[in-house]
Structure 1
Amino acid sequence: MSTSTHILSTMPNSITVDVAIIGAGPSGAIAASLLHQQGKRVLVIEKQYFPRFSIGESLLPCCMQFIEEAGMLEALNAAGFQHKNGAAFRRNGTYTTFDFTDKFTPGPGTTFQVQRASFDKLLADTAQSQGVEIRYGETVEAIDLTENPRLTVRNETGELYQIDAKFVLDASGFGRVLPRLLDLESPSCLPSRSAIFTHVEDNISDPSFDRNKILISVHPEHKDIWYWLIPFSHGRCSLGVVARPELLAHLEGTLEQQLLQMISEEPTLKVLLANAKVVQECATLKGYSANVSRLATDKFALLGNAGEFLDPVFSSGVTIAMQSASMAAKCLTKQLNGETVDWQADYSAPLMQGVNTFRTYVQAWYDGRFQEVIFYENPNHRIKQMISSILAGYAWDTNNPFVKDSERRLNMVVELCKNNTPIPELEEG
């Protein structure tokens, strides 16, 4: 399951590397590739075997620059995934779209909607083809930070060995390996929510349905219940519903029956999916929002979901994962080259700038403020471009007023929308 790359060992049950990476998902594969490009000795430990199912299937255009940076863009473009150029929103019969090519921030405006099993494997395989070693079916059991990081790993046959590294990157996603081992878990500020999801053969015949966009639909009675419909190539979709657990408590039957009951409560979605057939066992994810007390030190850094996961509503998970991988790789290359790195100032704080921007809009989605803006009938074009940039993943562009001062700017526009007041041009910066 690993490449033929050989890493120097100091003893039969001990391996020495520059960087140990826990997890071969998007953040782990991107970070490994970027560090390998810089001549660093990298070893990736992955608990599962690829391909394996994961959610987070609607990429944001911002991701494309990190995929290109890692030398993986050609492989991605050739993979046949569904093209994506924006997002569509529907609520009580009102339908609106955001075109990600019509945005404020420079950068790619299109991306893909992907089955994560094959997408994650493509990234990991490409990293391996570049020379990165990935060991599948292995589990990190312990970490010792007394001196340089030392990981205790259980291999495929159940034997334990150690990895001595100069630094550890945790890219374990929802596995959150280091937060558990180092007691870094911290409560999320977001209320607990649950998701039920599956894949369907959608059989959608409506010619107005845009397969190039994710469709987010709002429940007709409960504005904080929403549905995702993510078209894939070959006539399939990812389908899910998100709600507070108490709002799903009345549902009966299997997960599939529960999901279909929720779909039947949104009239347009019910009609759109009238001929859909479930092709994958339904699954659920509960209480998924997570936080940590610390993102990084001079010995380790948490990437993506291993550090903080907000909510799937704006598909920010993979973007945050790749952004963190790129930022951490740059900081780590400097440190391994003998330069001084302040991990709080150089990594944690700048990463959280974008995470907190997404948080502003996630919270405002659920309390209804952001929905007022999204479904406003006469939007200001320049402001819509600025918001489109954030929905496209460019949440770190502080030239965008809705990033730099997200809460105040959003509240200003919300009040204008509520009062049906013409929205003036907004100065930038």
Structure 2
Amino acid sequence: MTREGMAGTGRALSATTVDYQKRVTLNTNTDINTRTKTGDAVDVAIIGAGPAGSVAAALLRKAGCSVLVLERQHFPRFSIGESLLPQSMAYLEEAGMLQAVVEAGFQYKNGAHFIAGERVSSFDFRDKHTPGWGTTYQVERGTFDDLLIGCAAKAGAEVRFGHTVRAMQTGDAPVLDVENEAGNTYKVHARFVLDASGFGRVLPRLMNLETPSRMPTRAAIFTHVQDGIPFGAMDRNKITVAVHPERRDVWYWMIPLAGGRSSVGCVAEVAFLDVPEEAREARLRELIRQEPTFARLIGDAPFLMPVRHIGGYSANVERLHGAGYALLGNSGEFLDPVFSSGVTIAVRSAHLAVQVLLRSFDGEAVDWQREYDVPLRKGIDTFRAFVERWYTGELQEIIFYPHQTDSIRRMISAVLAGYAWDESNPYVADPERRLKTLFEVCSQT
């Protein structure tokens, strides 16, 4: 049966899959799961209902797969990572989520504004080397993530909130041990498992897959404010990134949100932000006052929630796949929040993994290392080159260089807009060497 002929039905199961032969019609009005004597059976089990899990679920449902999403928390729930990149819009569109996102009333975004003392530099993501989306949104993630998983559920994915994966048996037909909030346990038999658990990193922790990250240990403190910024005082269509006046490895973000709110935070090495929980509000307020632009725009604007802290967030694994599973987004690797790459990497990984998985389900021999791990890491490594040089100050000198050429500026803008996989861009094809050379040019004048 062709893929087109499978719309609305479950995919044929492999001969090695036990007790899966009774399939059910898949549509938004029926239970997509069948039962075995030992638990639920689905084509794909997804751990985590964030953007990666939601996009993967929706794409799999479009291809006719049965999908079960297991989420430990209840939505909506707070999450950091509010500034999207334009490249992510293509994957939301393909997953059938674009209209819902556009109609949700999120803050429009078209670029990034950088500040270092008196130096300023703005990038409009519509003016970039790579064709494609040049605009996106700045979102409150609780609302955004709830919207995406709602779209996946409407597409026919079953979503179970408050269900925690406790263990997994790997192999051709992996089995998950799951516990609900009442303490009841059950098993989920799947043809394949996608771990989209984000910072929860379920499978890396359960299966000891983690390896040290190349990124130094940093932390962030942040909150939301009712900014009250007068019209025209700043460009609300851009994220603002500011460098600390005395330490170039310390930076601030200000992400305008809908309704006159903004997300505001500071990122630094852990020791710089190491204060007791009760002192975090005073510490963040002090840091805001130290940066002239943030002091002017935010000053004493009321904090709308307790100041939060996240530290040691950079993570990595040796491989992004194994027998019967693949890791999506932050569950595999997370770099740093400075260029807002997290959601883009998450949905890119979902799209790429689903492409490989569907070909596997169609009986093709696939190479997860060559077709998923290597190409996904290509973009991650591009972002890594930019992040590392941000903290050394080299990229800052490039961004604030007063004599930028239009062509190079568009290449840099494309990466900042999320197009970190377009190897027609020299700063993607060979980012480390190109950035090194560009920094040398910028530092000579």
Please give the range of the TM-score, normalised by the shorter of the 2 chains: over 0.9
SS at 1:395's partner residue? Answer: coil
State yes or no: 1:207 paired with 2:232: yes
| Contiguous gaps of at least 5 residues in structure 1 | 421-429
Report if the CA contact (8 A) 2:170-2:323 is conserved.
no
Give the Cα–Cα distance (whole angstroms) in 2 for the partners of residues 164 and 25 of structure 1: 22
Identity of aligned residues (%): 53
1:260 aligns with 285
Alpha carbons 1:5, 1:133 under 8 Å: kept? no
Which residue of 2 is the match for residue 112 of structure 1?
A: 137
Q: What is the identity, as a one-letter code, of the residue corresponding to 2:263?
A: S
Alignment of 1:393-408 (within 5 A): 393-408=418-433
Q: Say whether the 8 Å CA contact 2:172–2:323 is kept in structure 1.
A: no
Matching residue within 254, 273, 293 for 1:248: 273
Measured in 2, the distance between the counterparts of 1:77 and 1:282 equals 29
In the alignment, which of 122, 125, 132 is matched to residue 97 of structure 1? 122
Structure 2: unaligned runs, 5 residues or longer = 1-27
The residue aligned with 2:360 is 335
- Quote the residue 1:315 is aligned against: 340
Distance 1:199 1:247 in 2: 21
- Could you list the per-position Cα deviations for residues 28-87 of structure 1 after superposition, in whole angstroms to 9, with x for gaps in the alignment? 000000011000111000000000000000000000000000010011110000000000
Task: Give 1:275-294 correspondences, 5 Å limit.
Answer: 275-294=300-319
Using the alignment, how far apart are the partners of 2:234 and 2:327 within structure 1? 39
- Call closer, same or farther: CA 1:6–1:252 in 2, change over 3 Å: closer
Tell me which residue corresponds to 2:6: none
Partner of residue 379 from structure 2, selected from 354, 363, 369: 354
- Write out aligned runs for 1:7-406 (5 A): 7-11=32-36, 13-205=38-230, 207-249=232-274, 254-406=279-431
Bigger mean CA offset, 269-278 vs 215-224: 269-278
Q: Distance in 2 between matches of 1:319 and 1:195?
A: 20
Q: Cα distance 1:243–1:19, how it changes in 2: closer, same or farther (>3 A)?
A: same
SS of residue matched to 1:390: helix
Looking at structure 2, the residues matched to 376 and 258 of structure 1 have their Cα atoms a distance apart, in angstroms, of: 31
CA contact (8 A) 1:170 1:302 kept: yes
Q: Does structure 1 retain, via aligned residues, the 8 Å contact 2:43–2:67?
A: yes
What secondary structure, in the 3-state scheme, does the structure 2 residue paired with 1:278 have?
coil
- SS of 2:190's equivalent in the other structure is strand
Using the TM superposition, name which of 148-157 and 350-359 deviates more.
Answer: 148-157
Question: Are the aligned partners of 1:45 and 1:136 in contact in 2 as well (CA < 8 Å)?
Answer: yes
Letter in 2 for 1:299: G
CA distance in 2 between counterparts of 1:250 and 1:124 reads: 36
Distance 2:102 2:271 in 1: 42
Aligned CA RMSD, in angstroms, stands at: 1.4
Deviation at 1:276, TM superposition (A): 1.3
User: Do the aligned partners of 2:171 and 2:324 also contact (CA within 8 Å) in 1?
Assistant: no
- Residue identity opposite 1:370 in structure 2: L
Residue identity opposite 1:171 in structure 2: A
Aligned to 1:425: none
- Secondary structure, aligned partner of 1:312: coil
Taking the aligned partners of 2:424 and 2:67, their CA distance within structure 1 comes to: 35
The change in CA–CA distance for 1:227 and 1:251 in structure 2 (over 3 A counts) is farther
Post-superposition offset of 1:6 = 1.3
Letter in 1 for 2:203: L
SS at match of 2:104: coil
**Deviation at 1:208?**
3.2
Provide the secondary structure at the position in 2 that maps to 1:313: coil
Output the amino acid matched with 2:439: V
Worse-matched range after superposition: 141-150 or 39-48: 141-150
Deviates more, 1:146-155 or 1:91-100: 146-155
Q: Aligned partners of 1:41 and 1:152: how far apart in 2?
A: 18
Equivalent-residue separation in structure 2 for 1:298 and 1:35 (angstroms): 19
- Say which SS state the counterpart of residue 322 (structure 2) adopts: coil
**CA distance in structure 2 between the aligned counterparts of 1:151 and 1:5, rounded to whole angstroms:** 23
Does structure 1 retain, via aligned residues, the 8 Å contact 2:289–2:299? no
TM-score (norm: length of structure 1): 0.95
- Return the offset for 1:251: 8.3
> CA–CA distance in 1 between the matches of 2:245 and 2:236?
23
1:146, distance to aligned residue in structure 2 (A):
4.6
Which region of structure 1 is more displaced relative to structure 2, 263-272 or 228-237?
Answer: 263-272
Distance in 2 (alpha carbons) for counterparts of 1:158 and 1:248: 38
- In the superposition, relative to structure 1, how do residues 379 and 331 fare at CA in structure 2: closer, same or farther (>3 Å)? same
Secondary structure in 2 matching 1:327: helix
TM, length-normalised to structure 2:
0.92
Q: Cα distance, 1:248 vs. partner?
A: 2.6
Q: Is the deviation greater in 140-149 or in 120-129? A: 140-149
Classify 1:146/1:299 alpha carbon distance in 2 versus 1 (closer, same or farther; 3 Å). closer
CA displacement, residues 315-365 of structure 1 (integer Å, 9 cap, x when unaligned): 000000000000000000011111111000000000000000000000000
Matched AA of 1:197: F
Compute the displacement of 1:129 (Å): 1.0
Contact 1:195–1:284 (Cα < 8 Å) also in 2: yes
1:184-229 Cα shifts (integer Å, max 9, x gaps): 0111001000100111101112623000000000001000000000
Determine helix, strand or coil for the equivalent of 2:348.
helix
Give the counterpart letter for 1:273 in structure 2.
I
- Residues 91-146 of structure 1, C-alpha deviation per residue, up to 9 Å, x if partnerless? 01211100000000000000000000000000000111111111100000000115
Q: Is the 8 A contact 2:315 2:333 kept in 1?
A: yes
SS in structure 2 of the partner of residue 277 of structure 1: coil
For residue 294 of structure 1, report the CA deviation from its aligned partner: 1.1
CA distance in 2, matches of 1:115, 1:268: 23
The separation in 1 between residues aligned to 2:216 and 2:405, in whole angstroms, is 32
8 Å CA contact retained: 1:252, 1:258 = no
Contact 1:354 1:403 in 2 (8 A): yes
CA contact (8 A) 1:7 1:15 kept: no
